[in-house]
């Protein structure tokens, strides 16, 4: 396990998107981090505070072109908030130079390289990095994250779905056929997109509207199946449908899970409390309480609950996260804290934003 460091130099590649901006909001207030560099292909040379006025006065950094060797020379750890398939160009250099990396794209999340051909229509170009990458959900892989040179932070939909259902799979209480996951995300889940805005994300299309997309084909599906299957000890299939809802940020998951035995809501909640006992960022709600996206926005929290549906023999599992928080940047900071032996709450102490 790497030695604990008091102050770590951190850079962010792809810092001009929503995920990168949220990372910087958290990192610039982190007590053990010095942010030493940020990159953006489209904003190279521009001051960070000019591109993102909410960070004005917190840093004098300017965006730099994406250069892996430059990043390796100025940082002890690098966050990669790049478009999918781009991190594979940078990570090999960081690994060779001994710089630890946390990738927020999908490039290192899937263990089987064939899945990249199936779901991303391109072969993986860094098989050595893929083999050593650790899936960065602390609630499942905390011990491995601590010593990992490369962490693949979960996608937002998988984070919500896995945390909503993991206790049932881990205890063998879920049947492996017929699991249905419904996810609803705010528009920041699509990223800042620059000039390539898809019509569904325009204000006039997203406001006062709910839309399903990626039906039976969303790229987060194999990620959910991979992690839940590992918990269950057997391969499984999940019917997953994502939806776009008119929120800036926030993600709500409803999962319907067939049970192997009849359990009451109180008994199911007992299973969840046991599974998440001591977890700093998972809050299991009391019977009758329901998660809301408003209750977690701006934070790394995941609020979860479960309700028994005795009529159908299923559990209805609910979770709420911030898609840029536990579904992205904040979870990545939690990973970094674990990797360097700090309190997992470092830089993440602030409560959710309300209203």
In DSSP notation, 55-106 reads GTTT---BEE---HHHHHHH-SEEEE-PPTTTHHHHHHHHHHTT-EEEE-SS
Beta strand spans in 223-301 (E): 238-244, 251-258, 282-284
Cα atoms in the Cβ-side hemisphere of radius 13 Å centred on 200: 15
Backbone angles phi, psi at 211, to 5 degrees: -135, 135
- In 3D space, the residue among 85, 34, 40 whose CA is nearest the CA of residue 63 turns out to be 40
Whole-angstrom CA distances from 33 to 8, 334, 337, 351 are 5, 13, 10, 20
Residue among 341, 343, 334, 2 at smallest CA distance from 153: 334
Question: How far apart are the C-alpha atoms of 316 and 309, rounded to whole Å?
Answer: 7
From CA 287, how far away is CA 281, in angstroms rounded? 19
| Annotated active-site residue in 156, 176, 318, 330 | 156
Q: Which two tokens stand for residue 7?
A: 């102050």
Any idea what DSSP says for residue 198? -
Cβ distance 91 to 108 under 8 Å? yes
- Is 302 a known active-site residue? no
How far is CA 315 from its chain centroid? Answer: 24
Residue 206 phi, psi (nearest 5): -80, -35
CA distance 14 to 83: 8
- Long-range interactions of 139-147: CB distance < 8 A, separation 24+: 139/163, 139/166, 139/276, 139/279, 139/282, 140/166, 140/227, 140/231, 142/338, 145/335, 145/338, 145/339, 146/1, 146/338, 146/339, 146/341, 147/1, 147/2
List active site positions: 156
């Amino acid at each position: 396990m790497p030695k604990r460091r008091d102050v770590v130099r951190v850079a962010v590649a792809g810092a001009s998107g929503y995920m990168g901006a949220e990372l910087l909001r958290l990192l610039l207030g982190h007590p053990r981090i010095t942010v030493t560099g940020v990159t953006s292909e489209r904003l190279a040379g521009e001051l960070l505070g000019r591109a993102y006025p909410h960070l004005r006065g917190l840093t004098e950094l300017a965006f730099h072109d994406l250069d892996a060797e430059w990043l390796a020379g100025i940082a002890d750890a690098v966050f990669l908030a790049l478009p999918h398939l781009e991190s594979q160009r940078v990570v090999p250099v960081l690994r060779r130079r001994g710089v630890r990396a946390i990738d927020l794209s999908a490039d290192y999340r899937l263990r089987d390289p064939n899945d990249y051909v199936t779901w991303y229509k391109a072969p993986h170009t860094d098989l050595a990095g893929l083999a050593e990458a650790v899936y960065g959900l602390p609630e499942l892989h905390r011990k491995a994250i601590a010593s990992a040179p490369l962490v693949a932070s979960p996608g937002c939909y998988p984070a919500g779905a896995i945390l909503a259902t993991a206790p049932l799979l881990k205890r063998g209480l879920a049947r492996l056929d017929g699991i249905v996951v419904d996810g609803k995300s705010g528009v920041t889940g699509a990223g800042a997109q620059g000039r390539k805005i898809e019509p569904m994300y325009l204000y006039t299309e997203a406001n006062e509207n709910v839309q399903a997309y990626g039906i039976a084909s969303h790229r987060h599906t194999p990620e959910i199946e991979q992690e839940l299957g590992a918990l269950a000890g057997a391969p499984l299939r999940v019917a997953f449908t994502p939806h776009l809802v008119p929120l800036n940020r926030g993600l709500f998951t409803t999962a319907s899970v067939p049970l192997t035995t009849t359990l009451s809501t109180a008994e199911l909640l007992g299973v969840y409390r046991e599974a998440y006992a001591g977890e700093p960022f998972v809050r299991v709600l009391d019977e009758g309480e329901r998660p809301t996206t408003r209750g977690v926005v701006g934070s790394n929290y995941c609020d979860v609950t479960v309700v028994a549906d005795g009529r159908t023999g299923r559990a209805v599992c609910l979770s709420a996260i911030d898609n840029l928080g536990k579904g992205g940047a904040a979870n990545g900071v939690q990973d970094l804290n674990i990797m360097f032996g700090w309190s997992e709450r470092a830089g993440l102490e602030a409560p959710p934003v309300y209203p």
